[in-house]
Chains A and B, each alone.
Chain A
């Protein structure tokens, strides 16, 4: 079984400031890692994912996350945020040994970007 911990439930930042949303996971087997974003009254959208290869993964809208196996972390970063980045962000894992498409999510981090 695996678990995901998002260390901050709320992160308020000012526009154009950098931000880091922290995610740690626990699993006895190798995992795939994901970040999803949820805007108000919408479903989740995949932001980026780590399956294998380079430990640094990037999204098209400037977010990046780095897989750190020794620290079992997958923190999400953006060097300069916009008002439109205000949303809830979820870190998720799925393990390589479970058949199917099951995701285990963290509790979520509400990112609020203020002008």
Chain B
């Protein structure tokens, strides 16, 4: 079974631009979560989608948004990029939602904002 895939793997943008990152979960998984990883703040939860509905949201500004499609694929969007948005963005999928479920992580998209 293929793992979680994220595209693109690397991205360079400039301040003020917007970016869209994509995540394809493991086949049959319906929950997708997004995390931001930075050297200073560590791993921080962005949001979770389950059955096309946002279930949870972390403490990030409204510039960060996401959505999930009927095939469970998910995208996250960051508008008006800031230098501090440079990070590794990780996507994780699980079969169903619930804190006890094992989450499977993708390799991440490394975003650099210049």
A44 at the interface (CB under 8 A from B): yes
Verify if B66 is at the interface (C-beta below 8 Å from A): no
Which residues does chain B contribute within 8 Å of A114, judged by CB atoms? none
The total of chain A residues at the interface (CB under 8 A) is 26
Instruction: Give the residue of A41, A42, A49, A104 whose beta carbon is less than 8 angstroms from that of B102.
Output: A49
Q: Which residue of A lies closest to B108 (CB)?
A: A43
For residue B58, which residue of chain A has the nearest CB? A102
Contact of B43 with A102 in the complex, beta carbons under 8 Å: no
Determine whether the beta carbon of A101 is less than 8 Å from that of B107: no
- Binary interface encoding of chain B residues 93-105 relative to chain A, with 1 for a CB under 8 A from any of its CBs, else 0: 0100111111111
Q: Which residues of chain A (46-103) have a CB below 8 Å from chain B? A: 46, 49, 51, 90, 92, 94-96, 98-103
CA of A41 to CA of B43 in the docked complex: distance in angstroms? 15
Determine whether the beta carbon of B45 is less than 8 Å from that of A104: yes
The answer on a CB contact under 8 Å between B56 and A99 is: yes
State A107–B50 Cα separation when bound (angstroms).
27
B-side contacts of A92, CB under 8 Å: 43
Question: Which residues of chain B have C-beta atoms less than 8 A from A36's C-beta?
Answer: 105
Q: B residues touching A (Cβ–Cβ < 8 Å)?
A: 4, 31, 33, 35, 42-45, 48, 50, 55-56, 58, 90, 92, 94, 97-108
- Closest 7 pairs between A and B when the two form their complex, measured CB to CB: A43-B105, A94-B99, A105-B43, A100-B55, A100-B56, A44-B105, A107-B42
Could you write out 22 A-B pairs with CB less than 8 Å apart?
A41-B107, A43-B108, A44-B90, A44-B105, A49-B102, A90-B43, A92-B43, A95-B99, A98-B99, A99-B97, A100-B31, A100-B48, A100-B55, A101-B56, A101-B94, A101-B97, A102-B33, A102-B45, A102-B56, A103-B35, A105-B35, A108-B42
If A41-B107, A101-B97 are given as contacts, then 17 extra A-B residue pairs at C-beta distance below 8 Å, sorted by A number, are A32-B100, A44-B92, A90-B43, A94-B99, A99-B55, A99-B97, A100-B48, A100-B97, A100-B98, A100-B99, A101-B92, A101-B101, A101-B103, A102-B48, A103-B33, A103-B99, A108-B43
